[in-house]
Chain A
Amino acid sequence: MCDELKVIEKVLNGDVDAFGILVKRYEKQIVNYIFRMIGDYQDALELSQEVFLKAYLALKSYKSEYSFSTWLYRIAKNRTIDFIRKRKLSTVSIEGQGDEDSLKPQYEDSGLKPDEVFEKQRRAKLVEKAVSKLPLEYREVIIMYHVDGLKYEEIAEILNLPIGTVKNRIFRARRLLKELLEGEI
């Protein structure tokens, strides 16, 4: 955290390359969050780059009383919502249903045997499809909480919502996701 503030200070003093340290630290989280939200790998990469560019340009307005990751997630969340609204996506296009030319996502190596990989992929597709069917306000909280491992307080700060509302949404989202997956898995 302290180290992060030093890097931010360096960037604010004109060291553009130092911003690369922050990008490296958060790129995985941001790309995965956006990918889960919009379902298109290529768009997720481009949007993530925009998010980091926007963060660089707005870095002066960052206040150290908040964590940098919370601040960055807020930018990512706003940019993603804008993107979804512009594309008028009520549900995300999941892999295989989207644009033919879209870049296929590169997944991390799981270290599993081929039959296990096949079963995991089948299951993952069903879960992805179910997540994409969740209303936006439920989708974002469930991804932040269960996938990105953010705490209620952090999600409340990012979304600018009371903690009670965040808890309530996560509670409902879990139920809804389970209902959608019942009998499928």
Chain B
Amino acid sequence: MKKLCELLERYLQGDLNKNETEVFENHLFECEKCKKEVELAKEVEEYLNSIPKVKVPDNFSNIVIEKIYNHKQKVQSWYIYAAVAFVSFISALIAGSMIGWKNVADNVIYFGESVYNLATSFLTAVITLSGTLYNALTPGKVNGISLIFVFVVVLVVFLKSVKVFSSVER
């Protein structure tokens, strides 16, 4: 009797063969405990089956694959940053050991000054150009709209070109 009760779980999982199923179903006429358990399981299963399954959007797998590509792209960018940082560090070490740390520091300061001078010249050129444009477009009047338009066109061209160069091919 007790041995037959042990078949209950396998019966509920549908794991019994035809012969075992027949034996266990006969056992259910005699064992109230197993009978109640089978009835309860079937009832609960029926309850839960009444909840319909939700649909998965057709493009679900495409979205997942897209997310994977985006993730890979992000990781690749970090690898590039890490590689650039590593190469710069090693180059600095080699340069330092070859020409001495003081010379390196002098060169860095000199480079910084050059960048500063270049930026200043660039800014002066932009201001001069803006002034010329302003004078050419507005003889005696403020024509800010034209300047804003030129600025927006330049900005859009710049952003577009950045986007083109940063896109990753699959």
The chain A residues found within 8 Å of chain B, CB to CB, are: 16-17, 19-20, 23-24, 27-28, 31-32, 35-36, 41, 44-45, 48-49, 52-53, 56-57, 105-108, 110, 120, 123-124, 127-128, 130-131, 142-143, 146-147, 151-152, 167, 174-175, 177-178, 181, 185
Contact = CB atoms under 8 A, between A and B. Distances in A.
B35 to A, nearest CB: 15
Nearest to A55: B64
Interface in B46-91: 47-57, 60-65, 67-69, 71-72
Contacts of B45: 146
Contact of A120 (B50, B62, B63, B69): B50
Contacts, number: 100
Interface of B: 9, 13, 40-41, 43-45, 47-57, 60-65, 67-69, 71-72
Contacts of B62: 20
B65 A20 contact: yes
Given A57-B71, A152-B13, A175-B40, A23 B64 contact: yes
Contacts of B63: 49
Given A20-B64, A131-B48, A53 B54 contact: no
A23 B9 contact: no
A126 B121 CA distance: 75
Contacts of B64: 19-20, 23, 49, 52-53, 56
